[in-house]
Amino acid sequence: MLPKWFDDWNRDNPTNIYGPAILVGALGGAIFIAAMLVAFGQPFATKSIQTGPRGTGMSVTEFVNEIERPDPTIEDYLTEEPYIPQPGDALAKDIYENVQVLGDLTEDNFNRFMNAMTFWVAPEQGCAYCHGEGDLETYGEDNLYTKVVSRRMIEMTQNINENWDGHVNANKEVGVNCYTCHRGQNVPSDIWFSITPVVDAMTGWGAVQNRVTEQSQFTSLPSDALETYLLNYGVIGVHDLESRVEGSPADEGFPTIQDTERTYSLMNYVSNSLGVNCLLCHNSRAFYDAEQVTPQWATASLGIAMVLELNNDYLVPLADVYPEERLGPIHQDAPKAACRTCHKGYQQPLQGLNMIADWPELTTSEAPVYE
């Protein structure tokens, strides 16, 4: 009645009765634990976001302890309700010198914003970070690069909220402000610089891949995907699905295997930046079909277009303003933004916190409207 291996063990080891008992006990314990997991559910429960029709595999699954993990930077966020302007209130541009942006704010709202920006960007240095150690009479001077950059960043933030509503307000009206990227740091985390070629001993395709870099998300994928698609207006695309397609990599617009690898590198970066997988935007059985993507695909596409504009119109032109220590280590280029600069591993920056509720000054380049 007993298994043959059991009889053989007893014959060969007549005095060792513990070996089979331990084995049987371990197997029985494993079966019991497996049965309990099936009966009561897995200990690390998951939640999923349905991104397409049921039965198509279009859902993004995340562990509960990750999806519900609060962003640790939210608790440090400083905000303050605006002062409703009254008739006759003097404007900042009429009181202070050299106010090139935010001049239509009343004095109280202007100082309120300056105070908040100090906490968002330079909590340790305070006002001196942009204005220096001089008296208040010197605050109108543009002697420090930080003030020149800050002015341009305010204009960039206004542009994002004013012209890229389809991306930043895709789910609800939340917008962005300085804290979205800076989180209390002078220089935002997750900026990037050009680093290619990553191999000096060769030219061509081999010089941009097969080296583990931050830009390639520490894979052997190409390290120039951010540079190609978020700076140089490269066309995102993969090699043709058909075999023996006529054409040559020398032909303009011809999708090559290298383009495919670059695209994978970019998509891997985007997924990690938002803490999601491919199915947030794509249908798993038709990645290539633009008619079967999710609404999030359009939001992400707008985000890529937005980052292209921010890098080319706002960030790269500041290269001549920055001191040497703020430039890239290889090409001495200006710091640039990408998805993770704002998202920092979450599907929505700061988990959907409304960043413009108290800051109508950042929603328009015109005079703000207070309610």
208 and 345: one domain? Answer: yes
189 and 305: one domain? Answer: yes
List CB contacts of 19: < 8 A, sequence separation 6 or more.
9, 13
CATH code, domain with 287: 1.10.468.10
Yes or no: say if 269 and 225 are a contact pair by the CB < 8 Å rule. Answer: yes
* β-pair partners for 62: 47
Give the total number of structural domains in the chain.
2
167 and 298: one domain? Answer: yes
Neighbours of 165 (CB within 10 A): 14
Look up residue 119 and give its amino acid.
F
Residue 133 lies in a domain: no
| pLDDT, position 66 | 54
193 and 63: one domain? Answer: yes
35 and 67: one domain? Answer: no
Residue 36, annotated as binding a ligand: no
> How far is residue 368's CA from residue 46's CA, in Å, rounded to a whole number?
43
Residue 296 lies in a domain: yes
Please give the share of the chain, as a percent, with pLDDT higher than 70: 89
- If pLDDT is split at 50, 70 and 90, which confidence band does 246 have? confident
Question: Residues 43, 44, 50, CA angle at the centre, nearest 5°?
Answer: 130
32 versus 311: the higher-pLDDT residue is: 311
| pLDDT, position 240 | 79
Residue written as tokens 């966020």? 77
Of 126, 125, 100, the C-alpha closest to 114 is: 126
Among 9-18, 56-65, 134-143, 329-338, the range of highest mean pLDDT: 329-338
Residue 117, annotated as binding a ligand: no
Burial group, residue 235, by CB count within 10 angstroms (0-12, 13-18, 19+): exposed
| pLDDT, position 18 | 64
| pLDDT, position 20 | 63
Residue 182, annotated as binding a ligand: yes
21 and 168: one domain? Answer: no
Residue 342, annotated as binding a ligand: yes
- Residue 37's domain spans which residues? 17-43
ω before 82 within 30° of 0 (cis)?
no
Full DSSP string of 41-104: --SS-EEEEE-SSTTTT-EEEEEHHHHTPPPTTGGG----PPPPP-TTPPBHHHHSSS--SSTT
Residue 131, annotated as binding a ligand: yes
Of 208, 215, 212, the C-alpha closest to 230 is: 215
Counting Cα atoms < 13 Å in the Cβ hemisphere of 128 gives 5
38 and 66: one domain? Answer: no
Residue 287 lies in a domain: yes
Residue 114, annotated as binding a ligand: yes
Residue 105 lies in a domain: no
Residue 184 has pLDDT above 90, yes or no: yes
Residue 167, annotated as binding a ligand: yes
Full DSSP string of 190-259: T-B-----S-TT--SGGGSSSS--TTTTTSSS-TTHHHHHTTS-PPP----SSSS-S--TTSTT---HHH
Residue 92 lies in a domain: no
Residue 334 lies in a domain: yes
Residue 239, annotated as binding a ligand: no
Residue 98 lies in a domain: no
Burial group, residue 229, by CB count within 10 angstroms (0-12, 13-18, 19+): buried
Mean pLDDT, to the nearest integer, of 314-336? 97
Residue 233 has pLDDT above 60, yes or no: yes
Residue 339, annotated as binding a ligand: yes
In the chain, count H helices and then E strands.
13, 2
Residue 306, annotated as binding a ligand: no
| pLDDT, position 40 | 62
235 and 197: one domain? Answer: yes
| pLDDT, position 255 | 82
Residue 295 has pLDDT above 70, yes or no: yes
Backbone conformation region of residue 271, classed left if phi is above 0, alpha if psi is from -120 to 50, else beta: alpha
Please give the share of the chain, as a percent, with pLDDT higher than 90: 59
23 and 73: one domain? Answer: no
Among 3-17, 59-73, 354-368, the range of highest mean pLDDT: 354-368
Residue 178, annotated as binding a ligand: yes
> How far is residue 161's CA from residue 11's CA, in Å, rounded to a whole number?
81
218 and 353: one domain? Answer: yes
Mean pLDDT, to the nearest integer, of 115-123? 97
Residue 125 lies in a domain: no
156, two tokens: 């960039």
Residue 202, annotated as binding a ligand: no
25 and 65: one domain? Answer: no
71 and 23: one domain? Answer: no
